[in-house]
């Protein structure tokens, strides 16, 4: 790890991040190389970070067959029949808020919450889109923009089914967003969780002394240069940084608890406690709903019956899940075995539920699952 640009690394690390630590080191490495005059190609950046392609825009699938559609034939707002398309929005790589941040720093492998939000709104408002799948393969990233995106998805519940497909990593900030979807599906072998927030202070004062250098800040404002990398972290600065991290963490776990229909204590004590959790274990813990592939999810959404009420369509998935379980569907049998029987009386009334009642129904269902799994 280079310390040739300690102020730069400190500026990166001291921001609150909801990301797997090794990926944040990769970000710092790419930026430091760029400052040194080594400009990596998009492919080289993707190789350093372990990602492959740009994302945040939707692909479209025929809701009758589940087959991929040509982009030009499936443009939102086009002439497709009502509820005839399934939109799949990719959410890959390291998360940043604005598209320019992703394109300039993360290259083609990053995710912009701004771009994902635009794709989500377009799909939600397009009458030809029957359901939305957000396809996750992300270690998380900066917390900026994540809460806004998660809240928007959660507040849109009941209008159309929105499914989070973990394919095959959904960690930190990515899980924050996924937990606000109607359902979380784990691809076999997938990992989810890493619920936590952190920042890092790097003290390079001894290295600076050894190099015979001295840095003097001339500043105004009591805390303006607090936590700089050229002196040890004071207790007061440490407490301020911890308070900031705690605030973001509280927002994170509250959003997960809200989305999954459990208590905050269930999240902090039973949702991996900062670790990622594998497919079936995630379902058992209440962190996800089932194990299935992306293709399986698209097929399931394609087979979901149409209803007169758009708000009730999100609950049609419950109906389809019950039918699959009764038929012994092999693709999801392991995950379904840990789920309780759905309340059929509530299910019969689903078409008449308001948006508020729909969420209450979902919370009861998740609470039941979580208790049964313990």
Least confident of 21-30, 168-177, 187-196: 21-30
DSSP 299: H
**Number of C-beta neighbours around residue 177 at 10 A:** 32
Q: Report the relative pairing of strands 111-112 and 85-96 from DSSP bridges.
A: parallel
152 vs 29: CA distance, rounded Å? 33
In the chain, beta strands by DSSP E: 17-19, 58-62, 85-96, 111-112, 129-142, 162-171, 183-186, 191-193, 276-278, 290-291
In a domain, residue 57? The reply is: yes
Is the confidence at residue 173, as pLDDT, over 80?
yes
Token duo for residue 65: 């067959």
28 vs 136: CA distance, rounded Å? 23
Give the total number of structural domains in the chain: 1
Domain around 94: 6-199+242-373
Condensed to tens digits (0 to 9), the pLDDT of residues 81-119 reads 777 899 999 999 889 888 665 555 545 568 889 999 999
Is the confidence at residue 28, as pLDDT, over 70?
no
Condensed to tens digits (0 to 9), the pLDDT of residues 252-267 reads 999 999 999 999 999 9
Q: Residue 315's pLDDT is what?
A: 46
In a domain, residue 157? The reply is: yes
In a domain, residue 1? The reply is: no
Rg (C-alpha) for the chain, rounded Å, is: 22
In a domain, residue 176? The reply is: yes
360 vs 365: CA distance, rounded Å? 9
pTM given for the model? 0.71
Q: Residue 6's pLDDT is what?
A: 64
Token duo for residue 190: 């997938």
118 vs 126: CA distance, rounded Å? 12
Residue 173 burial by CB count (10 A; 0-12/13-18/19+): exposed, middle or buried?
A: buried
User: What's the Cα-to-Cα distance from 261 to each of 78, 266, 329, rounded to whole Å?
Assistant: 36, 10, 26
CB 346 within 8 A of CB 361: yes
CATH of the domain at 109: 3.90.226.10
In a domain, residue 320? The reply is: yes
Q: Residue 354's pLDDT is what?
A: 45
231 vs 226: CA distance, rounded Å? 9
CB 324 within 8 A of CB 301: no
Over pLDDT 90: what percentage of the chain?
47
Is the confidence at residue 328, as pLDDT, over 80?
no
In a domain, residue 356? The reply is: yes
Q: What is the mean pLDDT of residues 8-14?
A: 63
Token duo for residue 357: 């009642």
Triad 17, 121, 196: Cα angle to 5°: 20
In a domain, residue 164? The reply is: yes
In a domain, residue 222? The reply is: no
């Amino acid at each position: 790890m280079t310390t040739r640009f300690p102020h730069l690394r400190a500026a990166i690390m001291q921001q609150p991040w909801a990301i797997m630590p090794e990926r944040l080191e990769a970000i710092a490495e790419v930026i430091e190389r760029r400052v040194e005059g080594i400009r990596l190609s998009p492919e080289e950046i993707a190789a350093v970070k372990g990602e492959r392609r740009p994302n945040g825009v939707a692909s479209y699938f025929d809701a009758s067959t589940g087959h991929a559609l040509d982009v030009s034939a499936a443009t939102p707002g086009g002439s497709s029949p009502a509820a005839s398309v399934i939109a799949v929005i990719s959410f890959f790589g390291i998360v940043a808020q604005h598209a320019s941040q992703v394109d300039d720093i993360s290259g083609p492998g990053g995710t912009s919450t701004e771009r994902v939000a635009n794709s989500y709104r377009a799909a939600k408002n397009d009458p030809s889109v029957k359901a939305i799948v957000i396809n996750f393969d992300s270690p998380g990233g900066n917390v900026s923009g994540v809460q806004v995106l998660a809240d928007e998805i959660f507040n849109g519940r009941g209008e159309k089914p929105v499914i989070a497909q973990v394919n095959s990593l959904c960690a930190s900030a990515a899980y924050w967003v996924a937990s606000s979807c109607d359902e979380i599906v784990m691809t076999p072998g997938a990992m989810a969780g890493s619920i936590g927030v952190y920042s890092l202070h790097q003290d390079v004062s001894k290295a600076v002394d050894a190099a015979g250098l001295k840095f003097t800040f001339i500043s105004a404002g009591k805390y303006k240069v607090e936590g700089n990398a050229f002196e040890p972290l004071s207790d007061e600065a440490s407490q301020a940084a911890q308070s900031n991290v705690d605030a973001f963490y509280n927002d994170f776990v509250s959003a997960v608890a809200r989305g999954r229909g459990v208590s905050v204590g269930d999240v902090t004590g039973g949702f991996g406690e900062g670790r990622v959790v594998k497919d079936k274990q995630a379902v058992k813990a209440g962190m996800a709903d089932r194990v299935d592939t992306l293709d399986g999810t698209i097929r399931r959404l394609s087979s979901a019956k149409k209803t007169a009420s758009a708000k009730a369509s999100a609950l049609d998935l419950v109906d389809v899940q019950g039918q699959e379980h009764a038929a012994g569907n092999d693709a999801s049998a392991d995950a379904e075995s840990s789920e309780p029987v759905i309340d059929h009386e509530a299910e019969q009334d689903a078409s008449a539920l308001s948006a508020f009642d729909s969420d209450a129904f979902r919370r009861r269902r998740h609470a039941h699952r979580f208790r049964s799994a313990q």
